[in-house]
């Protein structure tokens, strides 16, 4: 048991690393459409998102307690090596989908990681499958559809009402509106997702007896989780921002406002009702709906299909990776070190691959117009179509 102290430190660092990937994976949710319509300049957008994510982390700790108490059964003997394996699976999946520019759900990656690692490390009885279905799977299917329908309806209404107004004034108005809707999403994101990391760290501290059962996260946990997600958000997952803002549909200011409002409404209503849904899926669904409801009525179905496949894969894939990791970490300290080495090497390799075709604040909007699915362009050729950022 003498490696517990070391292991707890490793888990906390890994949890914060996950929080960081969560931040940059999800910058796109709030800001992709604002960047695409030009409502906010890219750097300004990520700065606002980062500040609001940090602020959001301090607003509530309600979800932090449900993550540890809901999906996995703490009493079944969840120990730090299991949590470490869960985080390793979630981080690797997050980085892989980022490399491919696909907006997968960081929450599902985390849930999948926890489930997989718990099944291997503790056994099937460690997972509350009823909670998994009612609180995760059903909302995951329903929420993007609801957001899509709402955004579709709102887009239709917005165009109908403003059809006689001057286009210059209405565009300016909707762009201003987008600043508010995008900010609200960022704030809600910080509140929801930073809490998940707080929940994981708290769960770890509870599992070694450093905190009493059902304890609230200590202030240093809240602050460090908020800081990690804010830093990640500021780094900006530009690949995903490009896919969501330019890859799905050609989005105009009224559509951007409609999709962001739909996403905000769905996220806040569902959170209020206790469903742990994915911000990513809600926002992508909203963008698709707004695309269909717009004057052109177009969505790049190739990209949409790839996103939906990724959503379906996220939970099981993270679970399998985390399960394998849990099997290794269970062997003892050398297992933990091995998984840690694989995690660092894998993350490094994906970062290195991403450098071959970088997407940055400067070129995030430089893509050829929507219907694309064309052959892979030679590396380095710009502007690249959004769906071929995956070439690397």
Partner 1 sequence: MNINWSALADTAAVSFGITVAVVATFALGVLGLSRREAATEAAGTASPATTGTLALAGATVCFAACAAAVAYGLTLIAA
Distance from C-alpha of 240 to C-alpha of 43, rounded to nearest angstrom:
15
Cα–Cα distance list, 317 to 113, 313, 359 (Å): 8, 6, 25
Cα–Cα distance list, 34 to 162, 202, 225 (Å): 20, 35, 26
Residues 278-337, interacting with partner 1 (CB under 8 A): none
Q: Is the CB of residue 250 less than 8 Å from the CB of residue 293?
A: no
169 binds partner 1 (CB under 8 A): yes
124 binds partner 1 (CB under 8 A): no
Number of residues engaging partner 1 in binding (CB under 8 A): 49
> Is 47 or 162 the residue whose CB approaches partner 1 more closely?
162
> Is 187 or 326 the residue whose CB approaches partner 1 more closely?
187
Beta bridge partners of 72: 127
174 binds partner 1 (CB under 8 A): yes
134 binds partner 1 (CB under 8 A): yes
144 binds partner 1 (CB under 8 A): no
SS3 247: helix
217 binds partner 1 (CB under 8 A): no
272 binds partner 1 (CB under 8 A): yes
165 binds partner 1 (CB under 8 A): yes
Nearest C-alpha neighbor of 121 from the set 355, 331, 334: 331
SS3 90: helix
| Lookup: tokens for 134 | 């009612």
The distance between the two most distant Cα atoms of the chain, rounded to a whole number of Å, is 73
179 binds partner 1 (CB under 8 A): no
> Is 129 or 352 the residue whose CB approaches partner 1 more closely?
129
As measured in angstroms, the least distance from the Cβ of 71 to partner 1 is 15
| Lookup: tokens for 103 | 């907006």
As measured in angstroms, the least distance from the Cβ of 168 to partner 1 is 9
Interface map 225-254 toward partner 1 (x if CB under 8 A): -----------------------------x
> Is 262 or 324 the residue whose CB approaches partner 1 more closely?
262
CA dihedral for 262, 282, 38, 53, sign (positive or negative): positive
Residues 31-90, interacting with partner 1 (CB under 8 A): 56, 59-60, 62
Alpha helices in the chain (DSSP H): 4-37, 42-57, 62-70, 80-99, 106-121, 129-131, 138-161, 167-207, 219-235, 238-242, 253-273, 279-293, 301-329, 333-355
273 binds partner 1 (CB under 8 A): yes
As measured in angstroms, the least distance from the Cβ of 191 to partner 1 is 5
> Is 130 or 382 the residue whose CB approaches partner 1 more closely?
130
> Is 268 or 374 the residue whose CB approaches partner 1 more closely?
268
SS3 127: strand
List residues near partner 1 by CB under 8 A: 56, 59-60, 62, 130, 133-134, 138, 142, 146-147, 149-151, 153-155, 157-158, 161-162, 164-166, 169-170, 173-174, 177, 180, 184, 187-188, 191, 254, 257-258, 261-262, 264-266, 268-273, 275
């Amino acid at each position: 048991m003498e490696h517990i102290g070391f292991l707890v430190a490793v888990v906390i660092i890994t949890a914060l690393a996950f929080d960081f990937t969560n931040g940059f994976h999800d910058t796109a949710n709030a800001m992709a459409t604002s960047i695409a319509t030009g409502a906010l300049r890219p750097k300004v957008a990520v700065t606002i998102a980062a500040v609001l994510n940090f602020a959001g982390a301090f607003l509530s700790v309600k979800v932090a307690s449900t993550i540890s108490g809901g999906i996995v059964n703490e009493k079944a003997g969840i120990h730090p090596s299991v949590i470490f394996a869960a985080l390793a699976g979630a981080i690797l999946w997050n980085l892989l989908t980022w490399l491919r520019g696909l907006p997968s759900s960081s929450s599902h990656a985390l849930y999948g990681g926890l489930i997989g690692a718990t099944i291997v490390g503790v056994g099937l009885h460690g997972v509350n499958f009823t909670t998994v279905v009612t609180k995760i799977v059903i909302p995951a299917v329903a929420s993007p559809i609801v957001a899509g329908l709402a955004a579709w309806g709102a887009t239709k209404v917005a165009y109908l009402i403003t059809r006689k107004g001057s286009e210059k004034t209405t565009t300016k108005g909707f762009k201003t509106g987008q600043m508010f809707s995008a900010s609200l999403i960022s704030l809600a994101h910080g509140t929801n997702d930073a809490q998940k990391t707080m929940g994981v760290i708290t769960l770890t501290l509870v599992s070694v007896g450093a905190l009493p059962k059902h304890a609230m996260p200590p202030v240093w946990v809240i602050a460090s989780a908020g800081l990690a997600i804010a830093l990640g958000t500021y780094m900006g997952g530009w690949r995903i921002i490009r896919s969501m803002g330019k890859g799905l549909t050609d989005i105009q200011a009224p559509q951007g406002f409609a999709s962001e409002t739909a996403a905000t409404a769905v996220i806040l209503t569902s959170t209020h009702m206790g469903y742990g849904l994915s911000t990513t899926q809600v926002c992508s669904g909203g963008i698709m709906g707004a695309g269909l409801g717009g004057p052109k009525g177009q969505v790049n179905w190739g990209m949409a299909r790839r996103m939906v496949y990724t959503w379906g894969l996220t939970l099981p894939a993270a679970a399998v990776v985390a399960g394998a990791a849990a099997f290794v970490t269970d062997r003892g300290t050398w297992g933990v070190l091995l998984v840690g080495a694989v995690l660092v090497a894998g993350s490094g390799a994906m970062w290195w691959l991403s450098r071959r075709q970088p997407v940055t604040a400067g070129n995030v909007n430089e893509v050829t117009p929507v219907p694309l699915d064309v052959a892979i362009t030679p590396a380095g050729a710009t502007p690249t179509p959004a769906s071929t950022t995956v070439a690397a």
